[in-house]
Amino acid sequence: MAMLEVNNLKKIYTARFGGSSVQALSKVCFSVEKGEYVAIMGESGSGKTTLLNILASLDKPSSGEVLLNGRNIVEIPERELAAFRRDNLGFVFQDFNLLDTFSVQDNIFLPLVLSGRGYDEMSRALMPIAAKLGIKDILSKYPYEISGGQKQRTAVARALITNPQLILADEPTGALDSKATGQLLRLFGEINDMGQTILMVTHSVKAASHAKRVLFIKDGQVFHQLYRAELDEEQMYERIADTLTLLQKGGAAND
């Protein structure tokens, strides 16, 4: 059984006043196996972010289902949602979303504290992750004191520390320079090699070329997908770029 299954997902936004409505997702179906590293690509307005928000249980679809290990997260009641997110999902955002009132260490601890873990347990969990992500020396600093790359690694550590089923990354390299981008993508690859499932939304070809599979979304549907298989990153990069060109020309699905 697939770890994540998305079936016939549909989302329609209706303006609060007046009847005009926009269809963000029309019919999305795909699945992700455990240990996969999947990138979702598409132009602005293609529905990427809507999809991610629904997967993150931050938003509800108009219809369709999202199964995580067989459980439909659409039907989880509101009061259990927070705990569900905390225990099963890890988030990495484009603008890091670190709390400026906490030090790096406390930012990473946040989800654990919310689950009521003790300090000793938390710091045991933190040490190997901090070492791996290279943020051991900045644990006591505040977000405003560290670089963008360090902020994003902090956010990754926060996502990893709960041992989530799935890491959801929204444009994780969007606010980073090329060096930090390279570092972060390598890191994602390593984490994935250790068995962590990652789902990343991006429109950076470079970022997507690191994934093992790339899904293309257009007009609210999965339009095409690419498997990396034996390709190296450069070849993958070219394949993705070609597909995007095709997409923009308005080619039909399954060329």
Note the residues at the interface with other proteins (CB under 8 A): 56, 58, 78-79, 81-83, 85-86, 89, 91, 93, 97-103, 106, 109-111, 113-114, 116-119, 122, 142-145, 158
CB of 144 to other proteins, least distance (A): 3
CA distance 95 to 16: 28
Of 93 and 216, the one with the shorter C-beta distance to other proteins is: 93
Cα separation values, 233 from 13, 84, 239, Å:
37, 35, 10
Please provide the DSSP assignment of 14-28 as one string: E-SSSS-EEEEEEEE
CB of 99 to other proteins, least distance (A): 6
Of 32 and 89, the one with the shorter C-beta distance to other proteins is: 89
CA distance 40 to 227: 12
CB of 166 to other proteins, least distance (A): 14
Of 155 and 247, the one with the shorter C-beta distance to other proteins is: 155
Of 86 and 206, the one with the shorter C-beta distance to other proteins is: 86
Of 68 and 98, the one with the shorter C-beta distance to other proteins is: 98
With 0-12 / 13-18 / 19 or more C-beta atoms within 10 angstroms meaning exposed / middle / buried, residue 77 is exposed
CB of 175 to other proteins, least distance (A): 15
CB of 84 to other proteins, least distance (A): 8
The residues near 207 (Cβ < 8 Å, ≥ 6 apart) are 39, 172, 173, 181, 185, 200
CB of 116 to other proteins, least distance (A): 6
CB of 91 to other proteins, least distance (A): 6
Of 108 and 247, the one with the shorter C-beta distance to other proteins is: 108
CA distance 190 to 131: 14
Question: Could you tell me the end-to-end alpha-carbon distance of the chain, in angstroms, rounded to an integer?
Answer: 29
Of 83 and 131, the one with the shorter C-beta distance to other proteins is: 83
Please provide the DSSP assignment of 142-165 as one string: -GGGS-HHHHHHHHHHHHHTT--S
The residues near 245 (Cβ < 8 Å, ≥ 6 apart) are none
Quick check: 48 and 201 in contact, CB under 8 A?
A: yes
Tokens of 132: 């791996």
